């Protein structure tokens, strides 16, 4: 099977996403970029616990199926739009986590009030303008909201995390969910105090160029 290893990574990341309660049932979707302008994406409407590498569909950036017998996620136009616009993105995770989705439903950005959030996402989490799920317009709106960011909210819908790997994209979704929960809890104390843009820029630069084992 072509790209078995990458397909298996998508399966394992999907199971982890479900295990973390970042999505319920068959909602949410994941993909990773492959050589030759291809992507491997989860199928539509299948339980993450039942997925096997053979169920992961290979598409090109025009949306043509290159390998796989399953129907791809209905959000494949969103994934294709992001890959086409962002060469740095190697993986995408789309979740429907509760607290971040509350901000999405309110069409309110998640403030840049937590250090780990601004480090890994790049600043406050913007909300993409509403567009119907599965539509090309949704892809365009999300690409705009992701400018200079590794995560965004989809109005009345959910969360998107993008990164250099499935592990990183999933972590971004976790950090966004945690930050949303903190922001909502902070309202009882008068609201989260946002970090200054200078501090955000400093921490983002350090995260990208100095954090961790290089």
* Main-chain dihedrals φ then ψ at residue 60, nearest 5 degrees: -95, 175
Active-site annotation, residues: 75
pLDDT of residue 26: 85
pLDDT of residue 49: 92
Q: Read off the pTM.
A: 0.95
Cα separation of 89 and 185, whole Å?
A: 32
- For residues 118 and 192, what is the distance between their CA atoms, to the nearest angstrom? 14
pLDDT tens profile 147-159: 999 999 999 999 9
* Residues of the chain scoring pLDDT < 70: 212-214
DSSP class of residue 158 equals E
Position 145 scores a pLDDT of 98
- pLDDT value of residue 214: 63
Instruction: Supply the CATH classification number for the domain 4-209.
Output: 3.40.225.10
Q: What is the DSSP letter of 23?
A: S
Please, what is the Cα angle at 194 between 181 and 95, to 5 degrees? 35
Domain ranges of the chain: 4-209
| 27: its two tokens | 């909602």
């Amino acid at each position: 099977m072509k790209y078995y290893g990458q397909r298996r990574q998508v399966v394992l990341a999907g199971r982890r996403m479900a295990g973390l309660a970042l999505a319920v049932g068959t909602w949410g979707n994941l993909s990773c970029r492959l050589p030759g302008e291809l992507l491997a994406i989860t199928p539509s409407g299948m339980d993450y616990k039942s997925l096997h590498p053979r169920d992961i569909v290979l598409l090109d950036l025009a949306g043509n199926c290159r390998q796989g017998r399953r129907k791809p996620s209905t959000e494949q136009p969103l994934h294709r739009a992001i890959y086409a616009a962002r060469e740095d993105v190697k993986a995408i995770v789309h979740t429907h986590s509760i607290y971040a989705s509350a901000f999405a439903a309110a069409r309110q950005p998640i403030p840049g009030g937590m250090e780990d959030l601004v480090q890994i996402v790049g600043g406050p989490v913007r909300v993409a303008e509403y567009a119907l799920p599965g539509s090309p317009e949704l892809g365009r709106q999300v690409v705009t909201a992701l400018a200079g960011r590794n995560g965004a909210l989809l109005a009345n819908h959910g969360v998107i995390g993008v990164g250099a790997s499935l592990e990183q994209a999933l972590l971004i979704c976790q950090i966004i969910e945690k930050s949303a929960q903190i922001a909502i809890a902070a309202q009882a104390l008068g609201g989260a105090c946002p970090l200054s843009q200078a501090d955000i820029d400093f921490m983002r630069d350090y995260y990208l160029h100095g954090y961790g084992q290089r």
